[in-house]
């Protein structure tokens, strides 16, 4: 199937050239997914299907068109090529349009990144069901107060990514992914429901956490919210747990998008080489880490992926680029093109907020009155200005100890100050689905409540 789809992709590129395209590439994704869901010990859902899609980009007279279809019959592919070439004509000339420079294309597409686990081919529904049943049961067994479940799901996927272009590039890589999650709830004394979840997601099955560990963790997270209350409005130190800290790294990565730079819609514009954060902060986007979900040998346009250091000791290093925005701004692509459907965007890679030296207990212990942040909600991030205002929940810290749970509060600040205010970075680097972060401490944030 591997060689088959490589030749399908190369044929599409040939057809596009024959129809008058100056340059073309074809990106095919083909996969099989299956999932099993249980709830309250009973089978709830079985889903199984295979799918594939092809995305073609053509450039004619510096005009770009992208077309996408799930129909891979020869007739449909002919139509796809024809539509794309015609669509390019109505686009407008753009001197920056084009495929990547040939020199940037990956020459080591077969590099061993451990992205495929053969074990997933033979994984049965019964095995998947067993894992999620055990995980859900472990959550119920963890604490009597767990009284309901929103279910536990296992999902497995295997597939192939193929790319060919008119510069002679032809590459493919097989991938697998397996994940499972559990979500359970408990009631407050007054009946208010408190829920939480936990999960594990990996490319290789043997790296998944045990069902019992995930179930217990989900239950522990739900139970510790029982009796959660609001607090009064104040400015306090905030300790971000590894989950919320990983979210913060995601915000930095979005702000480092070359597209955002071109649009001047990032607070990091014009800040390359400057200290934008505490010297304790190091953020990396790395698509070449073995066995990680964000890894891939080449990006959505065939460029070799690599390790991109975004922030080193607090200094902002550089933006992430695909070939288009790199060319527009006179930079180099960083192998960060992401292809999905008819769109090419910037992102990808495993995002790591690198570990520091401080034990997480010591970080919590250093706070007299503050918030241990475990949950963020909503869309209140303005990357242009850096304004940050999001719904939050967590646990209040008093005299260096985690005390009572808090909810229905809001944390706000401006990212420019927030990144500088990072006072401690923990040693507890925690990986979750292609991102990793430790506990971090921020000197001050506004907590809104009563």
* Contact positions with other proteins (CB under 8 A) in 255-274: 262-265, 269
Q: Does 380 bind other proteins (CB under 8 A)?
A: yes
Tell me the sheet residues that pair with 30: 52, 160
Nearest to 341 by CA among 57, 99, 72: 57
Contacting residues for 361 by C-beta, under 8 A, at least 6 apart: none
Q: Does 355 bind other proteins (CB under 8 A)?
A: no
Q: Does 362 bind other proteins (CB under 8 A)?
A: no
Among 39, 145, 332, 416, which residue interacts with other proteins (rule: CB under 8 A)?
39
Q: Does 370 bind other proteins (CB under 8 A)?
A: no
Nearest to 344 by CA among 305, 299, 310, 285: 299
According to CB under 8 A, which residues from 59 to 88 bind other proteins?
Answer: 64-71, 76, 80, 83-84, 87-88
Contacts with other proteins: how many residues (CB under 8 A)? Answer: 78
Q: Does 238 bind other proteins (CB under 8 A)?
A: no
Buried b (16+ CB within 10 A) or exposed e, 180-205: bbbbbbbeeeeeeebbbbbbbbbbbb
Site string for other proteins, 274-313 (x = CB under 8 A): ----------------------------------------
Q: Does 366 bind other proteins (CB under 8 A)?
A: no
Which residue stretch of 171-179, 212-220, 237-245, 342-350 sits at the interface with other proteins (rule: CB under 8 A)?
Answer: 342-350
Q: Are 126 and 171 contacting, i.e. CB atoms less than 8 angstroms apart?
A: no
231 three-state secondary structure: coil
- Shortest Cβ distance from residue 392 to other proteins (Å)? 8
Q: Does 384 bind other proteins (CB under 8 A)?
A: yes
DSSP class of residue 287 equals T
Q: Does 247 bind other proteins (CB under 8 A)?
A: no
- Shortest Cβ distance from residue 388 to other proteins (Å)? 9
Question: Cα dihedral sign for 283, 339, 178, 186?
Answer: positive
Site string for other proteins, 392-421 (x = CB under 8 A): xx-------------xxxxxxxx-------
- Shortest Cβ distance from residue 343 to other proteins (Å)? 7
Rounded Cα distance between 183 and 190, Å, is 21
Among 148, 209, 309, 312, which residue interacts with other proteins (rule: CB under 8 A)?
148
- Shortest Cβ distance from residue 327 to other proteins (Å)? 12
Q: What are the structure tokens assigned to 253, written together? A: 């990565």
Among 3, 75, 90, 330, which residue interacts with other proteins (rule: CB under 8 A)?
90
CA geometry: angle at 287 spanning 174 and 205, to 5°? 50
Residue keyed to tokens 């907020």:
353
Rounded Cα distance between 205 and 423, Å, is 37
39, 152, 382 from 133: Cα distances, Å: 8, 7, 41
DSSP class of residue 206 equals G
Q: Which is nearer to other proteins, 67 or 281 (CB)?
A: 67
Q: What are the structure tokens assigned to 333, written together? A: 């692509």
- Shortest Cβ distance from residue 112 to other proteins (Å)? 31
Q: Does 201 bind other proteins (CB under 8 A)?
A: no
- Shortest Cβ distance from residue 113 to other proteins (Å)? 26
Rounded Cα distance between 132 and 359, Å, is 32
Buried b (16+ CB within 10 A) or exposed e, 118-140: eebeebeeeebbebbbbbbbbbb
Which residue stretch of 132-140, 212-220, 232-240, 352-360 sits at the interface with other proteins (rule: CB under 8 A)?
Answer: 232-240
Tell me the sheet residues that pair with 373: 240, 394
Q: Does 1 bind other proteins (CB under 8 A)?
A: no
Rounded Cα distance between 55 and 344, Å, is 10
- Shortest Cβ distance from residue 225 to other proteins (Å)? 9
Rounded Cα distance between 374 and 393, Å, is 6
Q: Does 130 bind other proteins (CB under 8 A)?
A: no
Q: Does 44 bind other proteins (CB under 8 A)?
A: yes
Q: Does 333 bind other proteins (CB under 8 A)?
A: no
Q: Which is nearer to other proteins, 66 or 178 (CB)?
A: 66
Q: Does 132 bind other proteins (CB under 8 A)?
A: no
According to CB under 8 A, which residues from 164 to 193 bind other proteins?
Answer: 185, 192-193
């Amino acid at each position: 199937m591997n060689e088959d789809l490589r030749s399908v992709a190369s044929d599409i590129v040939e057809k596009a050239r024959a129809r008058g395209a100056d340059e073309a590439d074809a990106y095919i994704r083909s996969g099989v997914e299956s999932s099993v869901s249980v709830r309250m010990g009973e089978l709830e859902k079985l889903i199984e299907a295979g799918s594939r899609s092809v995305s073609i980009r053509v450039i004619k007279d510096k005009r770009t068109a992208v077309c996408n279809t799930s129909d891979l019959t020869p007739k449909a592919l002919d139509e796809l090529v024809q539509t794309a070439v015609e669509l390019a004509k109505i686009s407008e000339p753009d001197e920056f349009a084009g495929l990547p420079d040939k020199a940037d294309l990956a020459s080591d597409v077969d590099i061993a990144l451990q992205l495929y686990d053969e074990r997933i081919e033979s994984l049965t529904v019964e095995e998947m069901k067993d894992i999620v049943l055990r995980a859900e049961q472990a959550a119920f067994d963890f604490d009597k107060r767990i009284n309901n479940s929103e279910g536990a799901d296992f999902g497995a996927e295997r597939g192939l990514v193929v790319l060919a272009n008119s510069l002679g590039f032809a590459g493919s890589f097989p991938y697998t992914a397996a994940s499972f999650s559990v979500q359970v709830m408990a009631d407050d004394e007054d009946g208010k429901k408190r829920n939480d979840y936990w999960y594990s997601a990996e490319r290789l099955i043997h790296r998944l956490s045990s069902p019992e560990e995930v179930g217990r963790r989900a239950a522990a997270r739900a139970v510790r919210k029982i009796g959660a209350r609001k607090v009064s409005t104040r400015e306090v130190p905030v300790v971000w747990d590894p989950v919320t800290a990983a979210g913060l790294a995601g915000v930095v990565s979005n702000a480092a998008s070359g597209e955002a730079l071109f649009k001047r819609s990032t607070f990091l514009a014009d800040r390359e080489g400057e200290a934008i954060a505490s010297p304790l902060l190091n953020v990396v986007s790395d698509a070449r880490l073995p066995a990680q979900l964000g890894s891939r040998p080449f990006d959505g346009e065939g460029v070799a992926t690599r390790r991109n250091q975004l922030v080193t000791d607090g200094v902002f290093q550089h933006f992430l680029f695909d070939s288009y925005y790199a060319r527009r701004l006179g930079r180099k692509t960083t192998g960060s093109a992401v292809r999905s459907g008819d769109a090419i965007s910037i992102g990808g890679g495993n995002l790591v907020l690198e570990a520091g030296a401080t034990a997480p207990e010591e970080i919590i212990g250093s706070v007299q009155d503050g918030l241990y942040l475990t949950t963020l909600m909503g869309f209140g991030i303005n990357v242009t200005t850096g304004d940050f205002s999001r719904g939050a929940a967590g646990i209040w810290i008093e005299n260096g100890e985690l005390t009572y749970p808090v909810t229905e509060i809001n944390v706000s600040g401006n990212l420019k100050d927030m990144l500088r205010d990072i006072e401690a970075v923990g040693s507890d680097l925690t990986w979750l689905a292609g991102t990793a972060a430790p506990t971090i401490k921020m000197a001050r944030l506004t907590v809104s409540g009563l």
